């Protein structure tokens, strides 16, 4: 496993891969790797001849400085995990090498960034779009792998790739969950024991809402009940709980079993913000 730190260093290996006509699979991460990340790596291994994983905590996608400063860093453990998965290359750039100067460019994703994560984290998707564009331009992968847990982010990246005619195929990998159902997240390690226990309300509320919608209950009733359920959790604070189209991310006022739909949730457990989603009609 080779660890590279600059685009110039990677370019040498990229030229070799092009000469040998080998396909490149890319898994961009911010580190603090868990089994969800490794699922992406395994998918990349199965579909690519060379696998590159990046570890870079991107400052421009954090609208909360405290969240950025407290984002977990486990670089030695991450490298051990990736070595065990037989990853070919790990790209670990410095912030200065990615952002030689503060970007003047901004990316507006229109309707996609006006709802859900975009509404509650202004500037977040601009930062995501810029760093993903940079990483794609540096690594030049044939395929890139992302997790379904960050559903809206996958929509943003799909639009980025489509609108800018990027020559990369996106692969979305299902959410990996803990045994009790909590979606795996690098932020989970920051939860106290009590917060971790109450965090199950995210998957519990998604599952409950799906069951009730499929038995014919009205969406506004379901949504109001979930809000009441969160109010009974002293450490949990609901930010949003929405029924949406999983591609346009437009919110539904009513459930229609003939239309694609997913439920998205975001909530704070203490100071830790978690998100999750569940398809209702794929």
Give the catalytic positions in this structure. Answer: 37
Report whether 213 belongs to an annotated binding site.
no
Report whether 61 belongs to an annotated binding site.
yes
Report whether 25 belongs to an annotated binding site.
no
Q: Are 121 and 85 a contacting pair, CB within 8 Å?
A: no
Report whether 153 belongs to an annotated binding site.
yes
Report whether 184 belongs to an annotated binding site.
yes
| HSE (side-chain half, CA atoms, 13 Å) at 43 | 20
Question: 204-219 in b/e burial notation, b at 16+ Cβ within 10 A?
Answer: ebbeebbebbeeeeeb
Closest CA to 190 of 56, 72, 74: 72
Report whether 36 belongs to an annotated binding site.
yes
- Pairing state between β 2-4 and 24-29: unpaired
Report whether 181 belongs to an annotated binding site.
no
Report whether 34 belongs to an annotated binding site.
yes
* Tokens standing for residue 82: 């990736």
Report whether 35 belongs to an annotated binding site.
yes
Three-state secondary structure readout of 47-79: HCCEEEEEECCCHHHCCCHHHHHCCCCCHHHHH
Sheet with 236-244: strands ordered across: 236-244, 261-269, 272-281
Report whether 123 belongs to an annotated binding site.
no
Residues in binding site for (R)-pantoate: 61, 153
The binding site consists of 30-37, 61, 147-150, 153, 184-187
Which residue ranges are tagged as binding site for ATP? 30-37, 147-150, 184-187
- Binding-site members for beta-alanine are 61
């Amino acid at each position: 496993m080779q660890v590279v730190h600059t685009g110039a260093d990677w370019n040498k290996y990229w030229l070799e891969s092009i000469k040998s006509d080998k396909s490149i699979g890319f898994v961009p991460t911010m580190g603090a790797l868990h089994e969800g990340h490794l699922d992406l790596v395994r998918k990349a291994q199965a579909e690519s001849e060379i696998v590159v994983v990046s570890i870079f905590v991107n400052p421009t996608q954090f609208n909360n400085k405290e969240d950025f400063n407290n984002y977990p860093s486990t670089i030695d453990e991450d490298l051990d995990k990736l070595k065990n998965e037989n990853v070919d290359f790990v790209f670990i750039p410095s912030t200065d090498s990615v952002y030689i100067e503060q970007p003047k460019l901004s990316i507006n994703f229109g309707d996609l960034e006006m709802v859900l994560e975009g509404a509650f984290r202004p500037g977040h998707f601009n930062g995501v779009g810029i760093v993903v564009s940079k990483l794609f331009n540096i690594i030049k992968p044939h395929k890139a792998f992302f997790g379904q847990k960050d559903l809206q982010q996958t929509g943003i990246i799909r639009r980025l790739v489509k609108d800018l005619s990027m020559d990369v195929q996106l692969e979305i990998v299902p959410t990996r969950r803990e045994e009790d159902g909590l979606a795996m997240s690098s932020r989970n390690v920051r939860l106290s024991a009590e917060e971790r226990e109450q965090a199950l309300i995210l998957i519990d509320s998604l599952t409950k809402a799906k069951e009730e919608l499929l038995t014919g209950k009205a969406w506004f009733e379901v949504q109001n009940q979930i809000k009441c359920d969160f109010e009974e959790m002293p450490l949990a604070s609901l930010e949003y709980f929405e029924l949406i189209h999983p591609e346009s991310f437009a919110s539904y006022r009513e459930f229609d079993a003939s239309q694609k739909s997913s439920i998205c949730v975001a909530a704070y457990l203490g100071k830790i913000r978690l998100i999750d989603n569940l398809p209702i009609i794929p």
